[in-house]
Amino acid sequence: MSQPSPFFAMLARMRLIQRWGLMRNTRAENVQEHSLQVAMIAHALALISNRHHGGDFDADRVAVLGMFHDASEILTGDLPTPVKYGNDAIREAYKALERQAERRLLELLPADLREDYASLLDGARQRPAEQRLVKAADSLAGYLKCLEEAQAGNREFRRAEAVLLAKIESFYAELPAVRDFMRRYVPAFSLSLDDLSHTLGTDDQASSAG
């Protein structure tokens, strides 16, 4: 029998890595749930781009890239943004660390699957357009977290919200699907469960349903 592989057991550890480490959170967010949200948003951006803006993305592949975009953090941890991007030397050192972590993860796979996962974990094997789309989805997911915290009365995320909004808007010219997502889908994240249920035509109050 072949040697057991720890690859998927390591991936499962993403749920143990907390994001926003230096911030006071009303609800903790882990890397695994963030990655799922990034995957769903990236998938939507690819479809919107293809449907309305002449894109040629493989939406399913983009979604999987979103799932794996932070996989290296299993080994590196989620370094706080002010530290990660403190200066050019730290930024480049962290990128090198990420690449090393990606290689180490690939080495955990049986040899017959490494090539399949290399294109998901190794940024050098991804199209720049795919990477940009996933980065946009990553920023959108971070922005939605900021909105969630603001709605809960937490003022800790005000600066992060402004920075992420500016970053999202910087994608508009290159990726108009990002602008479309902001206009059509993001406003609903400010609705309560009862308001969301009302848009579905539900008469009963969802929050009182128990």
Helix (H) or strand (E) holding 53: none
| pLDDT confidence of residue 97 | 85
Contact status, residue 140 vs residue 185, Cβ threshold 8 Å: no
**Collapsing DSSP states into helix, strand and coil, what is residue 17?**
coil
CB of 7 closer than 8 Å to CB of 108: yes
The encoded tokens of residue 28 equal 């903790």
pLDDT score, position 96: 86
Q: Residue-wise pLDDT tens for the chain (210 aa)?
A: 478 999 999 999 999 999 998 899 999 999 999 999 999 999 999 999 999 999 999 999 999 999 999 999 998 877 666 666 667 788 788 788 888 999 999 999 999 999 999 999 988 889 999 999 999 999 999 999 999 999 999 999 999 999 999 999 999 999 999 999 999 999 999 998 898 888 777 555 444 444
* pLDDT for the residue numbered 77: 79
Measured distance between the N- and C-terminal CA atoms of the chain, rounded to whole angstroms: 50
pLDDT value at position 171?
A: 98
Residue 173 pLDDT: 97
Helix axes 59-68, 111-121, angle to 10 degrees: 100
Judge whether 67 and 36 are in contact, CB under 8 Å: yes
Domain at 7-208: CATH architecture? Orthogonal Bundle (1.10)
Helices (H) and strands (E) in the chain, counts: 11, 0
**Residue 178: how many CB atoms within 10 A of its CB?**
25
Which pLDDT value is given to residue 119? 92
pLDDT for residue 206:
47
CA distance 42 to 49: 10
Backbone φ, ψ for residue 30 (5° rounding)? -105, 165
pLDDT at 83: 63
> 103: which 2 tokens?
């290689």
Strand, coil or helix: 119: helix
Contact 45, 150 (CB under 8 A): no
Rounded distance between C-alpha atoms, residue 84 and residue 93, angstroms: 9
